[in-house]
Amino acid sequence: MTPAEPDDRSLIATIAKTGDPRAFHLLYQRHSGVLFAMAARLLDDRSDAEDAVHDTWLRAMQASGRFHGAAMVRTWLVGILINRVRELRRARPLECLDAMPDLAEPGAVTPDRALEAIDVSRALAEMPERYREVVVLHDIQGFTHDEVAAALGIAPGTSRSQLVRGREWLRRALHVPLETTDE
């Protein structure tokens, strides 16, 4: 953002009052990349991720008059995205879970970096939703626990505990031993 460009809160206020497409375009440019990256990690289908981001923007613009600035705009948008992702996941038939490989099978994890990335993606896809959301927001997107809490409507302490449990879930799924020190 250059000094001449308005901040996110000003853009939301402008959109709420006038529906200015330039304000929307600036806001869209600033946040769509993060929203798509997050949706892609939370959903295993690129088309679903694109739909979730599109729906997030529609809902955000419809609700722009109700944004009061209690959270950062990005946190507010992420909260809308998370709700849409949850709706999409609930609407999916359970058969899609059968298509995922079993990470507990011997040899599922190899030392090759490319395969490790695939394994992590699969593990994230299979991870319980409440852990996956916190792991993606905190560890991958770099949100603080306060921001995660605001986006998900949970307490910061809940974010912390779910992050610990999510990391442990990933360790088990990827067969990564706990590090021990001999001190």
| Domain regions of the chain by residue span | 1-99, 104-176
Q: Is the dihedral of CA 173, 142, 86, 33 positive or negative?
A: negative
Residue 55 — very low, low, confident or very high, per pLDDT cuts 50/70/90?
Answer: very high
The pTM of this model reads 0.66
Q: How far apart are the first and last CA of the chain?
A: 48
Q: Quick check: do 1-99 and 104-176 share a fold?
A: no
Average pLDDT on 54-79 reads 92
> Chain-wide mean pLDDT for the chain?
82
pLDDT of amino acid 117: 60
Q: Give 88-118 pLDDT, tens digit per residue.
A: 887 765 433 344 444 444 444 444 555 566 6
pLDDT of residue 93: 56
pLDDT digits (tens, 9 = 90+) for 127-166: 898 899 999 889 888 889 999 999 899 999 999 999 999 9
* CATH architecture type of domain 1-99: Orthogonal Bundle (1.10)
The fold of 104-176 is Arc Repressor Mutant, subunit A (1.10.10)
The model's confidence at residue 2, banded by pLDDT at 50, 70 and 90, is low
How far apart are alpha carbons 183 and 180 in whole angstroms?
9
